[in-house]
Amino acid sequence: MRYAGMKISTWQITFIFILTLCISIGYADILFQDDFEAKNALRQRVIDETKWMPIPSWKLSDNEDRHEVLGRRVLDIWGHGAGLSVAEFPEEFDYYADFKTMEGTGPGSVARFVFHAQEDRVDPLNLIQANSIYNHYSASITTEGAKYSPQHIRWARHFVRERVRQVWSVPFADRQSRKRDVWYRVKFEVRANHQFHAYLGEVGAAPNELIFVGTWTDAEKRFTGGKIGFSMIGSVKGGWGERAQFDNIVVTTPGFLSVEPKGKLPLTWGELRRE
């Protein structure tokens, strides 16, 4: 009987340990998601303007690479500044995306992600572009073919009021090379105290398969909370500048995000692929 009692006690301790572990890990809540497969009343695929404030260079293109996780359409951007989400996000979140850098002109082969974008009305006469009135942070992934710092992450702080864009460029922490015209998955951990961490992997990779590639802390602690989006340098009219494609944008609270087979995230990169 004493032995049986010890077995029960051991089981109880094990159960408490597992329960504590689950609570400490936590599960992430989904704050935002888009796979660019939205349709209008005519059943045409369109950029969902309840989620995004698109700029003229944004368009939907066919998924020519035929990756299973990408669906039929992807977002294609060529230059022309920053396009942002309608919603704002808190100080801490995880920002997932699939992306592919492409050959452009000028800088080329860059995918630039924006976060903590905050409107700064310094132009009451609206003399500058609407997408230029936002303070923001950005993280650029540069692959082979980039004119400036290929195989780097370029963290940047854009401050409208001072007309300043400061850049901190660091090589990928794992020293691996990423190719142009190849789809990857990225995760940015946006954290308190203005700390940011980046992870990369193959398209379709589960969150725990993504590899740490860089970190940065803003010592000036300028922006806390705001919109997410993409910012590509160039001119849509002249067809000049950086070009990249994006898909499967997911923003969650910090935490553990489980996956389904084939590297799809639940509800987001899994259930949304229903066509």
What does pLDDT average to in each consecutive run of 10 residues of the chain (275 residues)? 46 40 61 92 89 92 91 90 92 96 82 93 54 84 92 93 81 97 97 96 92 96 94 73 92 78 48 38
Phi, psi of 121 (to 5 degrees): -75, 85
Taking the C-alpha atoms of residue 248 and residue 71, their distance in angstroms, rounded to an integer, is: 9
First to last CA, the chain: 59
Q: Which residues pair with 104 in a beta bridge?
A: none
Q: What is the pLDDT of residue 28?
A: 82
Q: Considering the entire predicted model, what is its pTM?
A: 0.83
Nearest to 131 by CA among 78, 240, 55, 48: 55
Q: What is the pLDDT of residue 227?
A: 96
Token code pair at residue 181: 């015209």
Nearest to 59 by CA among 239, 259, 221: 239
Distances (CA, A) of 258 to 24, 93, 233, 261: 15, 16, 35, 10
Taking the C-alpha atoms of residue 28 and residue 208, their distance in angstroms, rounded to an integer, is: 14
Q: What is the pLDDT of residue 66?
A: 86
Q: What is the pLDDT of residue 122?
A: 61
Tell me how many degrees the CA angle 246-78-141 measures, rounded to the nearest 5: 55
The CATH topology of domain 29-263 is: Jelly Rolls (2.60.120)
Token code pair at residue 86: 């309608």
Q: What is the pLDDT of residue 56?
A: 86
Identify the helix (H) or strand (E) that includes residue 19.
Answer: helix 2-25
